Structure 1
Amino acid sequence: MDFLDFKLPTPIYKFDKNDLQHIYEPSEDTFLFMDALELEKSFIKTLEPTIILEIGSGSGVLTTFLALNFDLDNTHFMATDINPLACVKTSETIHLNYSQLPLKVKRPKVSIFIDDLAQSIIDRLNYNIDMIIFNPPYVPTHDITDNGQSGDFNIINRSWAGGLNGSEIIFKSLDNITRLLTHNGIFYLLLCADNDIDNIKNYIKNKFHFNSCIVLKRRAINEILYIVKFYKTHPFM
């Protein structure tokens, strides 16, 4: 599907050497996610979402991409990350791109906060979020704090270390995601071939009654990546 002509601009972002030690830099998975969202633009706009949440915002590029390019002026964007430095970087990315806009252009509201898989907002926003995006830690590792070198863990490893089959954080997030979404809410999840995608899709179908479809698939250097959409109503309603 790489023959598709993607036209929406990528947000500006800046990383220095210190950032690279602590925050996940946009990579193939990030760009695949943006391309998938571009394919879904018309559908997302028909939802007229009141709230869009990104779990694990990292650089803030995905939330900024939506806020800049989707004409969702009345949507409240929320971005969370367990890493405080990632939350700071998300804010920097949003403000950097907003500063490039003409003064008369409306800037959608974005709230950024430190959180672990959106746990802190469940009681307040139970069944009130229209759309969630999540690029999870998906790389198979010995455990979710493993970077391949025993005893050498730091916070950036949380951004990619996915534990057994790369899916431990994915499964951990599902109760929160499904409790936050409205009845017609949707969520987009990045997965890789090593995650046992059919198992994840079947689990979500059987336990939470969400259907699914693959929006976009791409081979990266050493992995095959997918953006999967989960929904309860027809995906093209």
Structure 2
Amino acid sequence: MKIGVVTFPGTLDDRDAARAVRLAGGEAVSLWHADTNLHKVDAVVLPGGFSYGDYLRCGAIAAQAPVMESIIKAAKGGLPVLGICNGFQVLVESHLLPGGLIRNEHQHFICRDQKLIVESNTTAWTNQFSLNEEITIPLKNGEGGYIATDETLKRLEGEGLITFRYKEVNPNGSMNDIAGLRNERGNVVGLMPHPEHAVEPGFGPDTKIAMRSGVDGLKFFTSVINSLVNA
């Protein structure tokens, strides 16, 4: 399966995302921000970083990039899209996911291994997880505070559109401890933590479970391949 990884000016984690795709058994395809051609990819990853220097608002300029015009159209047609950190910010700025992301409540950049609870395992990117499973993957952001109107929060909770919640520590003041979201169809998922940094034993968070140490993030990528194979 061909999974596109988008590079914007200022993207940092595109190579990590491409490696995660390959470790999961997929073929990583580089997509450039100025290109509208998605090269017949089967899914897309919007990786982390500081697209366009985070000018205006994080993800706001990237949401207007030529490649996003094609991705938005394809996502509305069912193309699986994963937004990680800055990619999540791009998804909300593109209105593929609701709400917004603002400066961390404590006003500082944070980098830590973060525990999450899986709230939805019926998406293209989470179907290899168990419901309510606890996972640990790295978190690194300065603008990760999720906000939404009361009406939107009520809809997210009522329709099961929250994919991940922070466990034990809410690191950035996100409303309702929200770490990640999905759309109604389940093909679009965004989250602030970085699964691409937890795909190899010994190179990710130590979960104290030998068979899982450092690899909780790999299931995001095996999930999408599984969903594509069984589509």
Decide: shared fold, TM above 0.5: no
TM-score w.r.t. length of structure 1:
0.34
Rg (Cα) greater in structure:
1
Higher helix share: 1
TM-score w.r.t. length of structure 2:
0.35
